Amino acid sequence: MERITKHPIIESFDKGRKVAFTFDGKTMEGFEGEPVAAALKANGVMIHRYTEKRHEPRGIFCAIGRCTDCVMVVDGVPNTRTCVTLLKEGMDVRTQYGKGGTEYEKI
């Protein structure tokens, strides 16, 4: 479990209610209002997308919405910055392949 349950300084983390969402169709749990990226990380998901040219995996890098490396297809919308997109009940989060197709076009 990647969640911090006890912290010497921070008494409690400001969290919403527990909600279910899906990652590539698999149901996962997270807290409403936390970034999608945090919920994924807590569930052990490291790979957010595969790049267009080299098909290389990418994940969280800056976590504050600047680097755009953590983008995924969220509720059908590609290039969604998961580190600044807040989790909602029932969200459909998918690994992004290249520009946003769900799989690489095999030519």
Partner 1 sequence: MNTSDVLIIGAGVVGCAAAYYLRKNGVSVTVLESDMIGNGGSSRNGGGVRISGRDPRELGICAYGVKNIWPTLSEELGIDVEYRQKGYLVCGYDDSHKRLIKDRINTAAKFGIKMELKEEEEIRSLYPYVSEHVTCAGWTPSDGVANPLKTTLGYYIRARENGARFITGEKVLCIEKIKGRARKVITESGNVYEAESIILACGYGGRKILNSVGIEVLMQKKLEEVIVTEPAPRLFDHMIGGMSGFYGQQTEHGSFVLGSSCGRETYLFNKSNTVSTYSAPSFICDSIGVDIPALKKLKVIRTWSGWIDRSYDAVPIIGNIEEVPGLFVSIASSGHGFGPGPAVGFILSELAQGRPSPVDISKLHYDRFDYVKYQDRYFVSDVGGSFS
Partner 2 sequence: MSKIIDRSADIGEFVPEKDDDILVCRCEEITKGEIRKAVHMGLYTMTEVKRFLRPTMGLCQGQICGENVRRIIAKELKEPIEALKETTARPPVRPIEMEVFGNEVEKL
Partner 3 sequence: MRRYDVCIIGAGPAGLSAAIEAQKLGMKSAVFDENHRPGGQLFKQIHKFFGSKEHMAKIRGFEIGKELLEEAKNVGVDVHLDAVVMGIYEPHRITVREDDSITSYSADSIIVSTGASEKTIPFEGWTLPGVIGAGAAQTMMNLYGVRPGKKILMMGSGNVGLVVGFQLLQAGCEVAALIDAAPRIGGYGVHAAKLARCGIPFYLSHTVVKAEGNGKVEKVTIAEIDKNWEFIPGTEKTFDVDTVCLAVGLTPMSQLLRMAGCKTKYAGGTVPVCDKFGETSIKGLFASGDVSGIEEASSAMIGGKISAVGAAFRCGFINEKEREQKYDEYSLSLFKLRKGLFSKENKGRTDITKTDEGIDLSMTLFKKGYMTEEELKKFVRNSEIKGPHPVIECTQNIPCNPCEDSCSFGCIHVGNEISAVPKFDENKKCRNCKMCVASCPGQAIFIVDNDIGDGYASVSFPYEFCPLPEIGEKGFALGRDGKDLCVAEIIDVTTNKAFDSTAVVTMKVPKEMSMTARFYRKEVPVNE
Are 16 and 86 a contacting pair, CB within 8 Å? no
Residues in region 1-40 near partner 2 by CB under 8 A: none
Interface pattern 34-73 for partner 1 (x via CB under 8 A): ------------------x---------------------
Q: Which of 57, 26, 55, 23 is nearest to 41 (CA)?
A: 23
The item of partner 1, partner 3, partner 2, none sharing an interface with residue 55, based on CB under 5 to 8 Å by kind, is none
Size of the site for partner 2 (CB under 8 A): 16
